[in-house]
Amino acid sequence: MTEPTDSPEAQPDSGPADAEVATSPPPVAEPGSAHPDDHAGKKRAALRETVILAVIALVLYYVMLTFVARPYLIPSESMEPTLHGCSGCVGDRIMVDKVTFRFGSPSPGDVIVFKGPPPWNIGYKSIRSHNAVLRWVQNTLSFIGFVPPDENDLVKRVIAVGGQTVECRNNTGLTVDGKKLTEPYLDPATLNADPAVYPCLGPEFGPVSVPQGRLWVMGDNRTHSADSRAHCTSTPGDAINGLLCTGDPMAGTVPADNVIGKARFIVWPPSRWGAVRAVNPQQSH
């Protein structure tokens, strides 16, 4: 009897061998290289930061112009030679301090910028273009002091304050409370007149009793300045005799509340950089 021959253990047929799946390894960033998404994100972050900083700067600038200081252009010759505004010359840009008078009142000798009261605005015409685009450009340039504001803002020197009496006579000169003033800022060459010979530098006027809370102001270029003398009222009899400012003192004086600020520095042109001096003409009192 033949014994069955052991056969090898049967192995299940696995069929063809599984194909190896080809895969690419994930990219490995080289040292120092940036992913494109990171690059774009950094650009967006930088842009956002720039916009935020620009907005903050604009807000701070606006706050400064509104409450602290603002540049103004001098468009007239009424304060020559202290401030340039003559025909054919580059008008001075001055920095006006808006803080000082929040804690005090203007004093004699201060050079101030103020809004013209109603009697001073007669005949004032807008300096803005009728073209909307040009008007916007003018208003923008005015905001940074390169174009005058579209309002009757004026710059003069304070001569007398509320409670004082100012007048001028050819035999006594300009006086406050009966005492002659000392005015070193008057320049005979600019005035085309010698204050020692023509002390009033115009018609005699006053006496004017300056009401409380108001100011009597005059330009340093006194022969070319439409200041308190030009806006005051006179009684008919005195006007006929050439004596001005003997009527109601309100028209020729400026409310202290109209004062925008005190001129501190000439910021343009560079050749005239420097402080604007407040010289008290009553210093000899």
Q: How buried is 27 (Cβ within 10 angstroms: 0-12 exposed, 13-18 middle, 19+ buried)?
A: exposed
Element (H, E) at 159: strand 153-161
125 part of the active site: no
Quote the CA–CA distance of 211 and 64 in Å, as a whole number: 32
CB burial of 246-281 (b: ≥16 within 10 Å; e: otherwise) equals bbebeebbbebebbbbbbbbbbbeeeeeeebebbeb
| CA 73 remoteness from chain centre | 8
Separation of first and last alpha carbons in the chain: 156
Residue type, 213: G
Out of 78, 142, 225, 228, the active site residue is 78
Quote the CA–CA distance of 243 and 239 in Å, as a whole number: 5
Out of 76, 98, 156, 225, the active site residue is 156
78 part of the active site: yes
What are the residue numbers of the active site?
78, 156
